[in-house]
Amino acid sequence: MIARKRDGLRLEDHEIAWFVEGAGRGTLPPEQLAALLMAICIRGMDAGETRCLTREMLRSGEIWELASLRPDAVDKHSTGGVGDTVSLVFAPLLASVGVPVAMMAGRGLGHSQGTIDKLESIPGFRTGWDRDGMLGLLDRCGAAVVAQSDAIAPADRTLYALRDVTATVPSLPLIVGSIMSKKLALGAGTLVLDVKWGSGAFRKTVPEAVELAAALRDVARDAGMACEALITDMNEPLGPALGNACEVREALAVLEGGGDARLREVTLALATEALVLRDHDRDEAAASLERALADGSAREAWDRFVRAHGGDPDPALLESPARTVAVTAPRGGVVSAVDGEALGWVAVDLGAGRRRRDDRLDHAAGLLVHGRIGDEVAEGQPLATLLLGRREVDVPPLVERVREAFVLGDEAPAQGRLVLGTVESAGG
């Protein structure tokens, strides 16, 4: 199978089923699983192979079918980027306007930090819940964000970890199979997708993002889910914080009615789309979400959300960096580009993510981004700040990598829309 896919040939359904079963049960060695993942990443899969992969990964574990018991519950997924703190705002925000949110989220993958890792930086916050536990969370606080259960798509659990450390994350069929096997296993009736494009995303161009969004949306709709996908810009970090505890703090700023404008815009766009999928009027939906941020309802929903998951919502208890290091502009100019992926890897190497599967996270570590595309900066002005935690790191090379991620020009570049729209309106 490895040799045939390496040579660009198609895999049969029974072969894909055998591969998935071997991954789920641990009967295939990781070096062979990794080799086939690389062959798939390079050679791809056709639509039929991708559907089969998704179906077999779904069947490898439990199927919760939440829609049968909580038909109003909404699920949300982002294809990953840097500074993408949306899920931490999205869940309590929708809960604050009476729409339950049920999400099975992931840990950090590649250069992007994961929702589960961020939530676990909150003291006491539990992410390991079974189906009954998730239903209880929905009843208590209207929002449940849980880690992938060992019983849900166990094959994906193995393959996901291997993809993270074998440079096979960007593969479209592997992304579709991984995301949709978990979403279909969870079985919420409504799903909204945030598909990123740009330098900090796994899909670098708009056509690539549209292709992925269409593939994900088609699988969801074929399974009977109400689903929409938005294409959003990731040519620079979405929010200013890259890490775990620092991203929780940034989420709180938005939930309190302030925070970063870009993070707020994308979150509101996705939350509005979710309400529209639940048959709300678009204008009324947007207005109700804005009110929840302004009047404190969303912040109160966050506290209920954290307590229901066993955590303490006091932000003073979040880990803080031992020290900080400013990265300054080498000259004056206008920020014309930011390499988000490079910054994401810096955050990983500071301790906010993993290079190896057994790496321990440093919740205090991360990166704060100050320079945004279009900003005029003076020589010596901070472009970013390194947040140093417990991990021993070689600071000078990290400072240089951050500085190189910012391109300074003499004129402000043309900037496109942050939210491009759906598959159709973004050019699909």
Q: Which of these, 192, 281, 178, lies nearest to 228 by C-alpha position?
A: 192
- In the beta sheet, which residues pair with residue 279? none
Catalytic residue among 75, 84, 117, 156: 156
- From residue 127, how far is each of 115, 116, 131, 242, 247 by CA, in Å? 10, 7, 12, 21, 17
Q: Does this model's pTM top 0.75?
A: yes
Beta strands in 29-68 (DSSP E): none
Please identify which of the residues 112, 178, 288, 297 carries the catalytic annotation. 178
Active site residue 280: no
Q: What is the pLDDT of residue 183?
A: 93
Task: Name the H helices within 223-296.
Answer: 245-255, 261-277, 282-294
Taking 3-state DSSP, the helix, strand and coil percentages for the chain, each rounded to the nearest 5, stand at: 45, 15, 40
Helix crossing, 154-164 with 30-43: angle to 10°?
A: 70
Active site residue 182: yes
pLDDT given for residue 246 in this prediction: 97
Calculate the alpha carbon distances from 277 to 143, 213, 228, 285, 334 in Å: 18, 16, 8, 11, 40
Asked about 204 being catalytic, the answer comes back as no
Q: Which two tokens stand for residue 414?
A: 């043309």
Check 163, 183, 299, 363 and give the catalytic one. Answer: 163
Largest CA distance in the chain: 61
Instruction: Please confirm, yes or no, whether 163 is among the known catalytic residues.
Output: yes
Domains and CATH numbers, the chain: 2-59 (1.20.970.10), 66-315 (3.40.1030.10), 319-409 (3.90.1170.30)
Residues in the chain: 428
Per-residue pLDDT of the chain (428 residues; tens, 9 = 90+): 999 999 999 999 999 999 999 999 999 999 999 999 999 999 999 989 999 999 999 999 999 999 999 999 999 999 888 999 999 999 999 999 999 999 988 776 667 778 999 999 999 999 999 999 999 999 999 999 999 777 888 899 899 889 978 999 889 999 999 999 989 999 999 999 999 999 888 888 999 999 999 999 999 999 899 999 999 999 999 999 999 999 999 999 999 999 999 999 999 999 999 999 999 999 999 999 999 999 999 999 999 999 999 999 999 999 999 999 999 999 999 999 999 999 999 999 999 877 766 678 899 999 999 999 999 999 999 999 999 998 889 999 999 999 999 999 998 898 889 999 999 988 64
DSSP states along 42-81: HH---HHHHHHHHHHHHHTS----GGGT-TT-EEEEE---
The residue type of 3 is: A
Of 55, 76, 157, 182, the active-site residue reads: 182
